[in-house]
Amino acid sequence: MPYSQSASRGLSSPDVVGFYDEATGSCQYICIDPATRKCAVIDVVLDFNPARARTSTEAADWALDWIEREGLTLEIILDTHPHADHLTAAAYLKQKTGAPNAIGEKVREIADLWRDFYNTPDAFDPQAGFDRLFADGDTFRLGTLDVRVMLSPGHTLGSITYVVGDAIFAHDTFMQPDSGTARADFPGGSAAMLYDSLMAILALPDDYRIFVGHDYGTEGRDEPAWESTVAEQRASNKHLGGGATKEEFVKVREDRDATLNLPDRMLHALQFNLRGGRLPEPEADGNSYFKIPANRF
């Protein structure tokens, strides 16, 4: 599995292992406190074959193997939002390790939206699916490291960013500077809100590392990449570099979004991720079934 390591820069700076899911272009992370060897995993994928509606655990097991091999202790399983392009491995990782899982508190509002789309008024209880629901400004500790939660809506209305020392886990807000930014056309999304979230991240110190949620390469770059800095994003981001105004950004983002199809896993993923990474309850025959709305999008 493609991966890279970003070394701690000293006191209050984590080691970060980034690893890549080729099927969905997803960037996943192990964030490590060097002092205590405690770690968090962020946005880890549960593999899914949409043609067969079959799950598997290669990416999550890769992370667990790394954690065991390096003598780390998994403290918490973090997601930044209910992903539309991949299934979350949060429940699987919790089952394997006993570590708690967490996401942003506005997942409740996202669940409200999707109950209507799936016509499942009693489905999706985020309080039952996640151990912690973070609010904007919440803090917690990862070993000796301080972690701060920033509400970063736009891609979804409830996306959150984790700032761990000098590492910013910015999920589906920024992409690499040569790729621009994430789409903002999903239900509850907003290009205007995304711009404000991007500006809040760019207000952090120039040398802070930004770790993004996706990379698909570019015409000039075949290999996936997922690390940049605040200064690099401010100077050369394809959609923002050089000081694009909010109005300019919104037009670019909305014009681009109008050309995009839904991710091929989206209608499977949301009903899974809003359950904290669990399939719907088995029916009388012992099997679980996805419910796919027709002609809604």
Spans in the chain with pLDDT lower than 50: none
Amino acid 151: pLDDT: 98
- The edge-to-edge listing of strands for the beta sheet with 87-88 is 54-56, 45-49, 87-88
Residue 274 pLDDT: 98
Other Cβ atoms closer than 10 A to 281 = 9
> Which domains does the chain possess?
3-273 (3.60.15.10)
Cβ-proximal residues to 103 (8 Å cutoff; 6+ apart), any chain? 78, 79, 80, 81, 82, 90, 126, 130, 132, 133, 134, 158, 160
Q: What is the pLDDT of residue 220?
A: 84
pLDDT given at position 148: 98
Reported as a single tens digit per residue, the pLDDT across 183-222 is 999 999 999 999 999 999 999 999 999 999 999 988 888 8
pTM score over 0.85: yes
Let me know: does 43 contact 83? Beta carbons within 8 Å.
Answer: yes
- The per-residue pLDDT for range 212-253, each reduced to its tens digit, is 999 998 888 889 999 999 999 999 999 998 889 999 999 999
Contact 293, 119 (CB under 8 A): yes
